[in-house]
Chain A
Amino acid sequence: MSGQLGFYFDASACNGCKACLVMCKDKYDNPIGVNFRKVIHYSGGYWEAHPTQKGIMVPHVYAYSISVSCNHCAEPACLDACPTGAIAKKANGLVVIDKEICVGCRLCESCPYDAPQFNEELGVMTMCDGCEDEIARGGRQACVAACPQRAIQFGDLAGFREQYGTVAGIEPLPDPAITAPSLVVTPHRNSPLSGQGTGEVKYER
Chain B
Amino acid sequence: MSDTFIIVGGGHAGVRAIDCLRRADFDGRIELVSADPHLPDHRPPLCKKFLRGQTPLERMYLRHEPHFARHNAVLRLGTQVEAIDPEARAVQLAGGENLSYDKLLLCLGARARRLDVPGSGLQGVHYLRSYDDAAAIQAGFTAGRRLVVVGAGYIGLELAATACELGLSVTVLELAERALARVVAPVVSAFFARRHAQAGVELVCNARVREFRGAARVRSVVTADGREFPAELVVVGVGNQPETALAQAAGLACENGILVDAHCRTSDPDIYAAGDCTRHPSVHFGGKVRLESVDNALEQARVAAANMCGQPLRHAHVPWFWSDQYDIKLQIAGLSGGHDQLVVRGDPAGSGFSVWYLRRAEVLSVEAVNRPADFMQGGKWIAERRRVDPARLGDPGVALAAV
Contact = CB atoms under 8 A, between A and B. Distances in A.
Nearest to A180: B59
Given A75-B59, A80-B45, A83-B294, A101 B376 contact: yes
Contacts of A162: none
A100 B294 CA distance: 21
Nearest to A120: B23
Interface string A100-134: 11010111011010100000000000000000000
Interface stretch (B60-68, B79-87, B139-147, B190-198): B60-68
A55 B376 CA distance: 69
B372 A80 contact: no
B376 A110 contact: no
B275 interface: no
A93 B60 CA distance: 21
Given A83-B294, A110-B63, A172-B66, A103 B42 contact: no
B379 interface: yes
B329 A77 contact: no
A83 B45 CA distance: 10
Contacts of B70: 204
A158 interface: no
Interface in B36-60: 42, 44-45, 49, 55, 58-60
B44 A83 contact: yes
A84 B329 CA distance: 8
Contact of A80 (B59, B322, B373): B59
A163 to B, nearest CB: 29
Contacts, number: 59
A86 B322 CA distance: 13
A178 B64 CA distance: 11
B42 A80 contact: yes
A101 B378 CA distance: 12
Interface residues of A, number: 24
B334 to A, nearest CB: 13
Contacts of B63: 109-110
B49 A178 contact: no
Contacts of A83: 44, 294, 322
A16 B157 CA distance: 51
Contacts of B62: 107, 110
Given A100-B376, A101-B372, A107 B42 contact: yes
B322 to A, nearest CB: 5
A178 B320 contact: no
A105 B317 CA distance: 12
B59 A179 contact: yes
Contacts of B64: 110, 112, 174, 178
B202 interface: no
B20 to A, nearest CB: 10
Interface of B: 16, 19, 42, 44-45, 49, 55, 58-64, 66-67, 70, 294-295, 298, 320, 322, 329, 331, 372-373, 375-376, 379
24 contacts: A77-B59, A84-B322, A84-B329, A84-B375, A85-B372, A100-B376, A101-B372, A101-B373, A101-B375, A106-B19, A107-B42, A107-B294, A107-B298, A109-B19, A109-B63, A110-B61, A110-B63, A112-B64, A114-B67, A174-B66, A178-B59, A178-B64, A201-B66, A204-B70
